[in-house]
Amino acid sequence: MKNKSYIGISLIILIFGIIFIPRIVDRIKNGSVVQNDRMSLSHEIIKEPSLVKIGPAPKFELTDQNNVKISNKEYVGKVYVLEFFFSTCPSICPVMNKNMVEIQNEFSKNGNFGIASITINPENDTAAVLKKHATEIGATSSNWHFLTGDKAYILGLANKGFNLFAAENGKVNGGFEHSGLFALIDKQGNIRCRKDKQGNPILYYDGLEQSGVKAIKEDIKLLLEE
């Protein structure tokens, strides 16, 4: 009896193999074994944006190096990078300047990219001073505005608006201290960023390290394609 049972089971397995294995092989070859066996809810999956949307960037209106009033509206439809700096900064600003010029040059042929550099020492950094500074560091893009205005307004914009540290401090070399971070803003005026290795939004990009410059250039390209 046992032998008959084994023969019967073997016959069933043989028949299964003859009928179904060729079908499975064909499905693997054309990829349908993956497509058809997924959950039926797969069509409801919505592709998430590749960069996190933090929220709308603060509004501003200041005067640029050409003595022209420039507001955030000037950048609507453009992807842009924003920083706080001052022209006589003896510490981190020269590095930020160099890296921002590198970013400018990467996208020099794209009219939908811009830069906003806002001075935190407007008493010294008049429009004329900023125009000279722009020439000295190699800022050639017509979409790169060096902005000046009321000091209290600018410091409030940095600290309360963008939450990027900037302060007057007579005890430090240069009289001011500030963050070396760059903000990335999309065509709709939203602050955007990537996530870190732990899955947390980085908020802003390191404007002092090449790793930060490389990251922001990669993400500018993504936003320009949106």
C-alpha to C-alpha distance for 206 and 185, rounded to whole angstroms:
15
Helix (H) or strand (E) holding 119: strand 113-119
pLDDT (tens digit per residue) in 63-108: 999 999 999 999 999 999 999 999 999 999 999 999 999 999 999 9
Look at residue 100 and give its three-state secondary structure.
helix
Split at pLDDT 50, 70, 90, the class of 49 is low
- In the numeric block, which tokens belong to residue 37? 């066996």
Q: In terms of Cα–Cα distance, which of 210, 208, 80 is closest to 144?
A: 80
Question: pLDDT by residue (tens digit) across 13-31?
Answer: 444 444 444 444 454 344 4
pLDDT confidence of 204, banded at 50, 70, 90? Answer: very high
Query: How does pLDDT run across 126-179, given as a tens digit for each residue?
Result: 999 999 999 999 999 999 999 999 999 999 999 999 999 999 999 999 999 999
Q: How far apart are CA 94 and CA 196, in angstroms?
A: 27
Provide the β-strand partners of residue 4: none
